[in-house]
Amino acid sequence: MKPVIGALALVFVSVACGAAAVKRTSSAPSQQACAWPESLDAPAAAPENHRILFENDRVRMLDVVVPVGGREPVHAHCWPSVLYVLFRGKLRERDATGKVIREVAETPPPSAFPMTQWLPVSPPHSIENLDSQPIHLLRIELKQ
> CB of 127 within 8 A of CB of 91?
yes
Cis peptide, bond prior to residue 110, ω within 30 of zero:
no
| Per-residue pLDDT at 144 | 80
**All structural domains of the chain with their residue ranges:** 2-142
Cβ atoms within 10 Å of 128's Cβ, excluding its own: 17
User: Is the distance from CB of 45 to CB of 75 less than 8 angstroms?
Assistant: yes
pLDDT attached to residue 101: 98
Q: In this predicted structure, what is the pLDDT of residue 70?
A: 98
In CATH, what class is 2-142?
mainly beta
Judge contact between 40 and 95, C-beta under 8 A. Answer: no
0.85 surpassed by pTM? no
What pLDDT does 53 receive?
A: 98
* pLDDT at residue 133, rounded to an integer: 97
10-residue mean pLDDT series, the chain (144 residues): 49 47 43 87 98 98 98 98 98 98 96 97 98 98 93
Chain center to CA of 109: 21
